[in-house]
Amino acid sequence: MGIKTADRTLDLIELYAREQCALTLSQISEKMGIPPSSTHGLVQTMLERGYLYELSRREGYYPTKKLERSTKLISEGDFIWRGITPYLQRLCNDISETVLLAKRQGNKVIYLDAVECNQSVRFSPIVGETKSLHCSATGKALLGALKDADLDKELAKLKLDSRTDKTITNVIKLKLEILSQRKQGWYQVIGENIPDLMSIAIPFQLNDETYVLGAGGPINRFKPLLKEHADAMLATQKQLLKFF
């Protein structure tokens, strides 16, 4: 459960990311579904901190470059991104599909970084987006990286809801698939979370934490090259383990 003021601040930032234009107080209030008084207080705080500026009373408000510069400094200060992002970019170029970096967050997978390919039809993950463990390749990879006793405990906690007609919703069947995919060296889903999309993932350890390298694309394009893509990802995994 989030803190209301923090939620609203993040909602406002995401609103501007979607709209990409100046917004008046009334527009912000309407689009965010919050009272005008709360909107005024929120905008006023952002103005005072230098994150918004007023174009005019009619045109409304728009973010300054302060937010962009702050996030850029944060990103540049994280050694993980500095080290891993080039590997993601090279892998994306090698397989011509979208690749990503993920980690577990509670009972979900969170996408930490993504490099989209240049294909007109492609997998387009959103950084910061979370996915279920049971029906994503990255989630299965994280589960597969657990010891067997821990795997049983985690599977017992999960709500195996159906996303498509391909989603595995039986605990025993899911465990057997995870164990089978562990032996082959990578984990995969074919239309289990999003129809017509397949993805594969490989876990690796970094500072005693499990991260996942993932890749995905349309089934009809990705599946015929599955082995080649998996081999390229395994090679990248080895490079990452040597680097770190």
CA distance 97 to 122: 7
pLDDT band at 242 (very low <50, low <70, confident <90, very high): confident
The DSSP letter of residue 224 is: G
Q: Is the pLDDT of residue 115 over 60?
A: yes
User: Distance between the two ends of the chain, CA-based, in angstroms?
Assistant: 35
Average pLDDT over residues 100-127: 94
Alpha-helical regions (H) of the chain:
4-19, 25-32, 36-48, 66-76, 79-95, 137-144, 148-157, 171-184, 219-222, 226-243
The ranges assigned to domains in the chain are 4-69, 78-243
- CA atoms of 16 and 188, how far apart (whole Å): 35
Domain covering 78-243 assigned CATH 3.40.50.10490 in the classification: no
In this structure, CATH architecture of domain 4-69 = Orthogonal Bundle (1.10)
Look at residue 82 in the predicted model and tell me its pLDDT. 66
**Cα gap 65→51, rounded to integer Å:** 7
| Structure confidence by residue, pLDDT tens digits, 156-204 | 999 999 999 999 999 999 999 999 999 999 999 999 999 999 999 999 9
Cβ pair 37, 29 in contact under 8 A: no
At 31-82, the pLDDT tens digits run 999 999 999 999 999 999 999 999 987 889 999 999 888 888 887 776 566 6
Residue 28 to residue 82: CA distance in whole angstroms? 36
Per-residue model confidence (pLDDT) at position 75: 74
pTM over 0.75, yes/no: yes
- In the prediction, which pLDDT does 2 show? 65
- C-alpha angle 135/136/139, rounded to 5°? 105
Q: Indicate if 78-243 has the same CATH topology as 4-69.
A: no
